[in-house]
Amino acid sequence: MLLKKYIGDRAFYQKVLTITIPILIQNVITNFVSLLDNVMVGRLGTEPMSGVAIVNQLLFIFNLCIFGGISGAGIFAAQYHGKGDVDGVRNTFRMKALIVLVLTVIALIIFALCGPQLISMFLHEGEENLDLVATLAHGKKYMYVMLVSLLPFAVCQIYAGTLKETGETMLPMKAGIIAVFVNLCLNYILIYGKLGLPEMGVVGAAVATLIARVVECLIVALWTHKNKEKAPYIKGVYSNFRVPRELAVKVMRKGLPLMVNEGLWSLGMTALTQCYSIRGLEAISASNISSTVSNLFFCAVFAFANAISIIVGHLLGSGDIERAKDEDSKLIFCAIVICTVIGGALAICAPFIPQIYNTSDGIRDLATKFLLVSAAMMPFNCFIHATYFTFRAGGQTVLTFVFDSVFIWCICYPVAFCLSRFTNMPIFPLFLTIHCIELIKVILGAWLLKRGTWAKNLVSD
């Protein structure tokens, strides 16, 4: 009976792999190139690497606000597709476009006016006496180019997200692969000044990212408009931006908590990084190396989380509530098993990867310790992500808000703030303590999953 609950049949795993593999491949390639990108910038020195890392941490807030802003509409898009309602999917697409436009304008204003001050919040003297002024200068140069890339990134998320929610996962994968290879090649050329071009350093890294994002956006947008038989919702999508009031209210009711949640969660993660920075710029450098490497190994977590969102969302939209619960359990179990193995691989690689970077031995050693913590936490983080996307698929956005943002701001951040300001605790015990607190969410998530109240059809007549 236990095996039946957690192990699926061949048809189940074929369906899971059909959705998961393209997303996984795209994520692996994207994060692998991000790792190479990070290493290339890291070869310039600790100060350029740290400046870029701080800006990317700030832009991370925007990226997740976009993700959260369109996720509310995405919940309905997946369920409308499961129901066979093309007009419903079209209207959710329009909602996404309006939300993205507002968020992008707000972000551009904030970063243009307050960017240098935000970067400076992370600059603190440590044991290695790194050059804070040079770090700020590198960060500012990188940031001003990256601001141009916000719009193509946001527009791409509208198209790619809707394609995935309607079952088309191959095209976003292909576009992502092309974009990351464009980024990789241009990074090498522009950062180091190859093929007769001047050496641009961190500005070259930003220009490469901008061009890659434009390429990815054009691929997914042009394909969608040229393949209306596979994406019928795109017909007439820009003829007007009227969205039925009832749907707009539903999307905002479900989506606003998601958007606020993603914004507050990413802001909370950034605030935690700022707490680590109190111990010196070397903490930022080590954290940057650790997070970039960990994200490559975390690709399986993100792929299964997306699969849960799509598969469970389709089943809930079609009204098959019990099957949605059953397949959700099987998906989570499969994800945890795979991520446990991947966590072991990360632990094996942890001592070697930081050696690639052109930085001090102290930063490399600290990055290795951070990676070992991430490896040990991987099965638990997998369960936390799977639980979050399960709740989201059922439209339980208030619950996801409590599960994510309330937890980080009411528990994790106060602990990090007090330990970083009022004690002399070294950076590694501080980092380890904050990650161990996350185990509380595992217990809470298991209890909420067992209750089953998350499984709801949001689009029934």
Domain range list for the chain: 2-451
**Token pair of 12 as six digits:** 């189940």
Least confident of 124-133, 184-193, 227-236, 380-389: 124-133
Residue percentage of the chain with pLDDT more than 70: 96
| Residue 104 in this model has a pLDDT that exceeds 60 | yes
What's the whole-number average pLDDT of the chain? 86
Three-state DSSP class for residue 187: helix
Model confidence pLDDT, tens digit, residues 432-459: 999 999 999 999 888 888 887 777 777 6
Q: Can you give the pLDDT at residue 32?
A: 76
Structure confidence at residue 154 as a pLDDT band (50, 70, 90): very high
The amino acid at 227: N
- Cβ(274)–Cβ(415) under 8 Å? no
Ramachandran assignment for 223, one of left (phi > 0), alpha (psi -120 to 50 degrees), beta (any other): alpha
- Name the nearest CA neighbour of 187 among 34, 53, 52: 34
Q: Can you give the pLDDT at residue 460?
A: 62
Give helix 361-393 / helix 46-83 axis angle, nearest 10°: 10
Does the pTM surpass 0.85? The reply is: no
Q: Can you give the pLDDT at residue 126?
A: 61
Q: State the Cα angle at 52 between 51 and 57, rounded to 5°.
A: 100
Three-state DSSP class for residue 44: coil
- Cβ(347)–Cβ(375) under 8 Å? yes
Q: Can you give the pLDDT at residue 3?
A: 63
Helices (H) and strands (E) in the chain, counts: 18, 0
Least confident of 23-37, 65-79, 81-95, 243-257: 23-37
- Name the nearest CA neighbour of 79 among 251, 229, 232: 251
Most confident of the following: 1-15, 21-35, 38-52: 38-52
Q: How far apart are CA 102 and CA 105, in angstroms?
A: 5
Backbone angles phi, psi at 232, to 5 degrees: -60, -20
Structure confidence at residue 128 as a pLDDT band (50, 70, 90): low
C-alpha to C-alpha distances, 434 to 93, 273, 381, 408, 410, nearest whole angstrom = 38, 11, 13, 10, 13
Distance, CA of 20 to chain centre: 16
Radius of gyration of the chain (CA): 22
C-alpha to C-alpha distances, 316 to 89, 93, 311, nearest whole angstrom = 16, 20, 9
C-alpha to C-alpha distances, 261 to 268, 422, 445, nearest whole angstrom = 10, 28, 17
| Residue 166 in this model has a pLDDT that exceeds 90 | no
Q: What is the pLDDT averaged over residues 424-434?
A: 93
Q: Can you give the pLDDT at residue 217?
A: 95
- Cβ(296)–Cβ(346) under 8 Å? no
Give helix 132-146 / helix 46-83 axis angle, nearest 10°: 30
**Structure-model confidence comparison of residues 303 and 223, the more confident one:** 223
Q: Can you give the pLDDT at residue 255?
A: 74
Q: State the Cα angle at 28 between 363 and 168, rounded to 5°.
A: 150
| Residue 290 in this model has a pLDDT that exceeds 60 | yes
Q: Can you give the pLDDT at residue 101?
A: 92
| Residue 461 in this model has a pLDDT that exceeds 60 | no
Q: What is the pLDDT averaged over residues 7-20?
A: 80
- Cβ(251)–Cβ(73) under 8 Å? yes
Q: Can you give the pLDDT at residue 2?
A: 55
